[in-house]
Structure 1
Amino acid sequence: MIYIGLAGWGDHHLGESGRGKLTTYTGHFPIVELDSSFYAIQPERNMRKWNEETPEGFKFVVKAYQGMTGHLRGGQPFANDGQMFKDFVSSIQPLLETGKLLAVLFQYPPWFECSKENVENLREAKERMESISTKGNGKEISLALEFRHQSWFEGDMRERTLSFMKQEGWIHSICDEPQAGMGSVPIVLESTHTDAVIVRFHGRNVSGWTQKGRDNWREVRYLYRYSTEELMEWKERLELLQKQVKDVFVIFNNNSGGDAAGNAKQLMAMLGIDYEGLAPRQLDLF
């Protein structure tokens, strides 16, 4: 099955029904990417609230906290890395307990290049997550991996990286993103897990992608609307991926101009998808 959703639920124009933005969102899509967990480990009460606001069968992709993926600049707000991982795993327990946690997404930065040291960093991160979850309620936490440095897929490293991900049990997060040199990765259309693969649409705004450091870079980085032709290409790719894996999860992250929801609905129509089990909705703007 192909499941389509968006990154976040607060910035999309989906119509308001007086029930709260997340509840409104769940009337349109069966999956969402939780980004706030990247900027700060969320209190468990937030996760419990979001769990209660979503229907049975709804899924969350939760982004790993930035300190867990090498993005954090400045001081470490935790006593040590072990405590940081422990607090993160504790925070997501409500979603894990109800089966609504699809995966924790480890998205590494553009400077995280392919090296022996970083391969060991990946192993260590996965071992920490597995060790902590085993000490808890014993429920397995699925982990997804996304690179932002081209060296992981250059030449013969492509097959070696994919083989490593398969051996280690990582879900592949495939990217559609601007091709802007070493700080971006190509579309690598291969699943590394039998149960799931994630596809994230970041847009193809090359100039916005490379403007980091400017005051408005967050506003323009994901400013892009996919054309009908581009989505048709992805329809074919997703159908190919479906033959490799049980479920394909698609996240539209081209949010800067408000294009994510429209593109997601367009792709759903192309695929002939009409999800069952969504929350009731009073108004459909699409």
Structure 2
Amino acid sequence: MGEILVGTCSWTDSALVSSGWYPSGQRDAEGRLRYYAGRFPVVEVDASYYALPSVRNSRLWAERTPDGFRFDVKAFSLLTGHPTRPGALPADLRDGVSGTELLDEVWQRFRGAVEPLREAGRLGTLLFQFPPWFGPGARAEAFLEACRARTRGWPVAVEFRHPGWWRDDQQGWTSALLADLGMSAVAVDMVQTLPVSIRPVTPVTDGQLAVVRFHGRNPAWGSGSKEERFRHTYAREELAEWVPRLRGMAEKADEVHVLFNNCCADAAVRAAESMGELLAAPSGTA
């Protein structure tokens, strides 16, 4: 049976910081991370989607967390085909560099910035979240193969936002593709009433790692503000639905990372705490 690690998709989210979850005296950058890492064994670095991470921060994160702690680092937007503002790029790359040259440089800097986490044994995976228009097909397959070529030797997890990847007639092909590429599939919990809803399937495509991300079940997903999209307080019954699924995934993977993305106030950390309690209960009692 593999280990199930439960955490959240950010420890620096402004709504969490202002919620009062962090105690007085531990609300600076170092204090927050040390406090978080004393309560959860894994976290997602969400900020790396919006701007390239830095070597300095990766070293500090490694120093401030215990052995066995995991950081799942979200890929920078340019690397997954999302629109990327020029202002999100390093200053020296905003003018005069474009196309393949820009992409090559961004890839190199992204890997270099994350390397201290890997050297310290803190890197869980690189998380590639693809946009809703990234549907299954030959072009997408080629993109994934190119992504794998650039990350050879690194752990990679893939989350699809296009529902076509996990429909019944496509699921087997998608799982086989990711398994062939040595990439971990990301399972998703989200509202199921929208055309863009991803089914709560639980494929395990890599024996080392499986990932589940909980986005909340707000029907405003995809249309409202960030807070509206992710505002959801998970009921214990909703979390309990996933306990046998997570345990089943842990029978096929060495680690299962369970990450809560309903980052409004302290909703994500509270859901993570509840999920940890449910998983700690004897099988059949959750």
TM-score in terms of structure 2 length? 0.86
Instruction: Say if 2:10 and 2:44, in contact at 8 Å, map to a contact too.
Output: yes
**Candidates 50, 59, 62, aligned match of 1:48:** 59
Amino acid at match of 1:211: S
Match in the other structure for 2:284: none
Instruction: Say if 2:194 and 2:219, in contact at 8 Å, map to a contact too.
Output: no
Instruction: Say if 1:82 and 1:128, in contact at 8 Å, map to a contact too.
Output: no
Match in the other structure for 1:2: 4
**Candidates 94, 103, 108, aligned match of 2:130:** 108
How far, CA to CA, are the matches of 2:151 and 2:158 in structure 1? 13
Match in the other structure for 2:165: 152
Match in the other structure for 1:170: 183
Instruction: Say if 1:17 and 1:24, in contact at 8 Å, map to a contact too.
Output: no
Match in the other structure for 1:281: none
How far, CA to CA, are the matches of 2:250 and 2:24 in structure 1? 34
Instruction: Say if 1:169 and 1:192, in contact at 8 Å, map to a contact too.
Output: yes
SS in 2 for 1:164: helix
Q: Cα offset for 1:17?
A: 4.4
Deviations 1:167-219 (A, max 9, x none): 11001111101225443311111210111101111001012x1315xxxx112
Instruction: Say if 1:144 and 1:171, in contact at 8 Å, map to a contact too.
Output: yes
SS in 2 for 1:244: coil
Match in the other structure for 1:210: 222
Match in the other structure for 1:271: 279
Match in the other structure for 1:134: none
Cα 1:194–1:25 change in 2 (3 A) is same
Runs of 5+ unmatched residues, structure 1? 131-139, 274-286
Q: Cα offset for 1:49?
A: 1.2
How far, CA to CA, are the matches of 1:250 and 1:157 in structure 2? 24
> Counterparts of 1:61-100 in structure 2 under 5 Å?
61-75=72-86, 77=89, 78=93, 79=97, 80-100=102-122
Cα 1:182–1:165 change in 2 (3 A) is farther
Q: Cα offset for 1:55?
A: 1.1
Q: Cα offset for 1:158?
A: 0.9
> Counterparts of 1:242-261 in structure 2 under 5 Å?
242-261=250-269
How far, CA to CA, are the matches of 1:159 and 1:182 in structure 2? 21
Instruction: Say if 1:85 and 1:129, in contact at 8 Å, map to a contact too.
Output: no
How far, CA to CA, are the matches of 1:60 and 1:172 in structure 2? 17
Q: Cα offset for 1:72?
A: 2.0
Instruction: Say if 2:185 and 2:205, in contact at 8 Å, map to a contact too.
Output: yes
Instruction: Say if 2:77 and 2:84, in contact at 8 Å, map to a contact too.
Output: no
Runs of 5+ unmatched residues, structure 2? 282-286
Q: Cα offset for 1:51?
A: 1.3
How far, CA to CA, are the matches of 2:134 and 2:31 in structure 1? 38
Cα 1:237–1:261 change in 2 (3 A) is same
Instruction: Say if 1:221 and 1:256, in contact at 8 Å, map to a contact too.
Output: no
Query: Does 1:129 find its partner at 2:142?
Result: no
Deviations 1:147-179 (A, max 9, x none): 000111223211100110111100111110122
Amino acid at match of 1:225: T
Instruction: Say if 1:180 and 1:210, in contact at 8 Å, map to a contact too.
Output: no
